[in-house]
């Protein structure tokens, strides 16, 4: 196969996802997450069987560049964009749950110290989010 025939994944910043993420963070108990240090990206042409992925900058890079921890939440356009608004929010909540309480730059696995990142944990945060939807603070 020639290089000209290969399709490469493309990505771009996703301001619509960033707005949704910021809204989720403002209305839930995920206070340890530092919103300005999360960058939302949308990829096109990814072959992964996922709606979204979270990436962290390895410690060696952070030390070399002398920067604080950052995370990238990548939504895979082909799988994510067609979801309902509710499902999109739940996908973002799932990714946010991978960020450790210390915002250290690491990632929490799906099962860690007896806690799970699963539909139940996502639903708990989502219910917290929707319970603030009509409160005076969210208007």
**Residue 3, domain member (yes or no):** no
**Residue 80, domain member (yes or no):** yes
* pLDDT score recorded for residue 40: 98
**Residue 67, domain member (yes or no):** yes
**Residue 1, domain member (yes or no):** no
Residue pLDDT, tens place only, 23-50: 999 999 999 999 999 999 999 998 889 9
* pLDDT score recorded for residue 109: 84
* pLDDT score recorded for residue 135: 57
Query: Which residues of the chain are modeled with pLDDT < 50?
Result: 1-6, 136, 138-139
Q: Where in the sequence is the domain holding 70, given as residue range(s)?
A: 10-134
**Residue 43, domain member (yes or no):** yes
How many domains, the chain?
Answer: 1
pTM score: 0.87
**Residue 83, domain member (yes or no):** yes
Write out the two tokens for 77. Answer: 């356009």
* pLDDT score recorded for residue 112: 80
- The CATH number that applies at residue 33 is 3.30.2010
The sign one gets for the Cα dihedral 11, 93, 55, 39 is positive
* pLDDT score recorded for residue 134: 65
Distance of alpha carbon 71 from alpha carbon 36, whole angstroms = 10
**Residue 51, domain member (yes or no):** yes
Distance of alpha carbon 135 from alpha carbon 139, whole angstroms = 7
CA-based nearest residue to 69, from 108, 100, 93, 30: 100
* pLDDT score recorded for residue 111: 84
**Residue 2, domain member (yes or no):** no
The sign one gets for the Cα dihedral 8, 21, 80, 61 is positive
């Amino acid at each position: 196969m020639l290089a000209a025939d290969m399709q490469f994944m493309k990505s771009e910043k996703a301001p619509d996802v960033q707005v949704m993420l910021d809204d989720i963070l403002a209305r839930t108990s995920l206070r340890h997450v530092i919103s300005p240090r999360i960058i939302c990206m949308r990829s096109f042409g990814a072959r992964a069987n996922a709606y979204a992925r979270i990436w962290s900058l390895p410690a060696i890079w952070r030390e070399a560049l002398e920067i604080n921890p950052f995370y990238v939440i990548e939504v895979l356009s082909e799988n994510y964009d067609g979801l309902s608004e509710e499902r999109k929010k739940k996908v973002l909540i799932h990714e946010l749950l991978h960020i450790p309480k210390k915002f250290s730059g690491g990632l929490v696995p799906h099962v860690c110290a007896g806690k799970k990142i699963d539909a139940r944990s996502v639903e708990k945060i989502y219910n917290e989010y929707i319970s603030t939807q009509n409160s005076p603070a969210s208007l």
